[in-house]
Amino acid sequence: MRLLSKKDSRLILDPLADNNPITIQVLGVCSALAITAQLKPSIVMAISVIFVLGIGNVVISLLRNIIPSKIRIIVQLIIVAALVIMVDQVLKAFAYTLSKELSVFIGLIITNCIIMGRFEAFALGNGPWRSFLDGVGNALGYGVILIIVGFFRELLGSGTLFGFKVLGDSVEKTGLYAIGYENNGFMVLPPMALIVVGIIIWVQRSRNKELIEEH
Amino acid sequence: MEHLELFFKSVFVDNMVFAYFLGMCSYLAVSKKVSTAVGLGAAVIFVLTVTVPLNWFLDQYILQPGALVWLDGNSDTPELSAYYGYDLGFLSFILFIATIATMVQLVEIVVEKFSPALYNSLGIFLPLIAVNCAILGGSLFMQSREIETALLALNFGFSSGIGFFLAIIAIAAIREKIRYSNVPAPLRGLGITFIITGLMAIGFMSFGGMLTAEDEEEVTEETKTAIDIEEKIEIDNETAQAEVSEVKN
């Protein structure tokens, strides 16, 4: 027997490309862009969102028949906030410098539109297992974009990956720098995150013409 | 002066959208027409102005380490209080978001009751705002930057709102114009909006140098002391060398 039925595996795979939360649904851009100057915080952020969205979707799905629809937004926010506090405390305990670096952006996972969007659109109407898959799938789709952006910004901006000097030493002029390559300091600045995402959207939509918007 | 500086800093230098990308979701979703953008922008100003000072009081009197000392009347001599060692900082996310969600709901009810006209223009955006990153971001930045007085917090909330308002109106106007331009098909809509926002953010970075006059003085002082130390070391070296040569002689 296969682990996932075909329908279930679509729940995970769709958001990775053709229904990506960031580039197609435009959800969760808020806290995504500011922390992608380097690869490591991007990955930590992606893992945090996978955790919060996966568990949160299950909890909401279990409670979906009990929550009164009028106050559901507050209930959802409280559940997310509790999960995010857990993530925040774990990061503070085991990766203090990184949690300082991410500063308020871990807290802003609470208002990450992906999370509320998936709660509203999926978890309120589906069972726990499918909601879990949907949550993990969407968070992965979010994480993929984050990691792509983080990869290019760190590589082109500071010539490193995870802090390792993969392109050689820029001060002592070794590796690529020996033949005159220079870091593009612009990539480290926040606005470039937006432009990199714009380019990702461009590439994706030129490969898949169905996604093109009218205006 | 302090207030004026904070105002300019929050509107231009630390603009919510262009410097920190907060509120991007609604910024991208509701910026197709200027008229709706004005509605959302006004709602954000309003809610930020209300929630940031409110959360400031929560932060000061409940969340900060030792903030609970007023409970048994020992505000002047905090060491004597039974609550001196308490630190509820980890609760800030949940308290802030609860305040914001209830305030938004409250504002919605009040506005609907007393000003149906305003409700019709603002009302549809209010539920959107509870989950707007700019609102929670305002409160979290207020906390992490340790804003000192309630008035400054009010100022911070209001001016951050203005910053968001400016950004969303600017992009909505540009998007209305760009509809008549010949944009490459795959970039149409979302893609070009991202890139334009990036360019605008680069433009806004030029405000960054505006308010750094004081910082520069500090920096020069620091470098001065560094230079002094270097000189001292050099002089020490010279005297040491002189001593050595004397001994040789």
Over residues B75-117, the pLDDT tens digits come to 777 777 777 777 787 888 888 888 888 888 887 888 788 878 7
Position A101 scores a pLDDT of: 79
User: Are the beta carbons of A190 and B197 separated by less than 8 Å?
Assistant: no
Q: Which residue of B has its CA nearest to A27?
A: B25
A88, A108, A212: residue with CB nearest B136? A108
Residue A28, pLDDT > 80, answer no
Single-letter amino acid, residue A69: S
Does a structural domain hold residue A194? Answer: yes
User: Could you tell me if A157 and A37 are in contact, meaning their C-beta atoms sit under 8 angstroms apart?
Assistant: yes
Which of A19-23, A210-214, B2-6 is predicted with the least confidence, judged by mean pLDDT?
A210-214
Considering chain B, what percentage of its residues have pLDDT values greater than 90?
A: 12
Residues B151-162 have a mean pLDDT of 92
User: Are the beta carbons of A89 and B90 separated by less than 8 Å?
Assistant: yes
**Mean pLDDT over the full length of chain B:** 79
B19, B23, B93: residue with CB nearest A110? B93
Set of chain A residues whose Cβ sits within 8 Å of the Cβ of B144: 103-104
Any bridge partners for residue A164, and if so which? Answer: A161
Map out the domains of chain B as residue ranges.
2-208, 212-249
Whole-angstrom Cα distance, residue B63 to residue A9? Answer: 44
User: Are the beta carbons of B93 and A81 separated by less than 8 Å?
Assistant: yes
Residue A97, pLDDT > 90, answer no
Residues near B41 by beta carbon (within 8 Å), at least 6 away in sequence:
B161, B164, B165, B166, B168, B169
Specify the 3-state DSSP secondary structure of A164. strand
Q: Which residue of B has its CA nearest to A117?
A: B131
Residues B147-174 have a mean pLDDT of 91
User: Are the beta carbons of A201 and B198 separated by less than 8 Å?
Assistant: no
Min distance A88 CA to chain B CA atoms (Å): 8
Band (A169; pLDDT cuts 50, 70, 90) = confident
User: Are the beta carbons of B25 and A31 separated by less than 8 Å?
Assistant: no
Position A4 scores a pLDDT of: 66
Taking each continuous run of H as one helix and of E as one strand, the counts in chain A are 8, 0
Residue B233, pLDDT > 80, answer no
Does a structural domain hold residue A109? Answer: yes
Residue B216, pLDDT > 60, answer no
pLDDT in tens, A55-68: 999 999 998 888 88
Band (A1; pLDDT cuts 50, 70, 90) = very low
Q: Domain count for chain A, please give it.
A: 1
First to last CA, chain B: 65
Set of chain A residues whose Cβ sits within 8 Å of the Cβ of B136: 107-108, 110-111
Min distance A29 CA to chain B CA atoms (Å): 6
**Mean pLDDT over the full length of chain A:** 82
- In a mutational test of the B interface, the residue from A104, A105, A204, A209 whose CB has the highest number of chain B CBs within 10 Å is A104
Position A215 scores a pLDDT of: 55
Chain-centre distance for alpha carbon A141: 7
Min distance A164 CA to chain B CA atoms (Å): 27
The more confident residue out of A163 and B136 is: B136
Most confidently modeled range among A29-38, A61-70, B169-178: B169-178
Residue B219, pLDDT > 80, answer no
pLDDT in tens, A6-23: 777 777 777 777 777 777
User: Are the beta carbons of B191 and A198 separated by less than 8 Å?
Assistant: yes
Which of A8-22, A79-93, B161-175 is predicted with the least confidence, judged by mean pLDDT?
A8-22
Position B154 scores a pLDDT of: 92
Considering chain B, what percentage of its residues have pLDDT values greater than 70?
A: 80
Does a structural domain hold residue A136? Answer: yes
Set of chain A residues whose Cβ sits within 8 Å of the Cβ of B188: 212-215
Position B222 scores a pLDDT of: 47
Does a structural domain hold residue A10? Answer: no
User: Are the beta carbons of B25 and A30 separated by less than 8 Å?
Assistant: yes
Whole-angstrom Cα distance, residue B136 to residue A84? Answer: 13
Chain-centre distance for alpha carbon B36: 24
User: Could you tell me if A97 and B155 are in contact, meaning their C-beta atoms sit under 8 angstroms apart?
Assistant: no
Q: Which residue of B has its CA nearest to A100?
A: B144
User: Are the beta carbons of B195 and A110 separated by less than 8 Å?
Assistant: no
Position B146 scores a pLDDT of: 84
The more confident residue out of B117 and B16 is: B16
pLDDT in tens, A180-191: 777 877 888 888
Residues of the domain holding A45: 28-214
pLDDT in tens, B27-44: 887 788 888 888 888 888
Does a structural domain hold residue A9? Answer: no
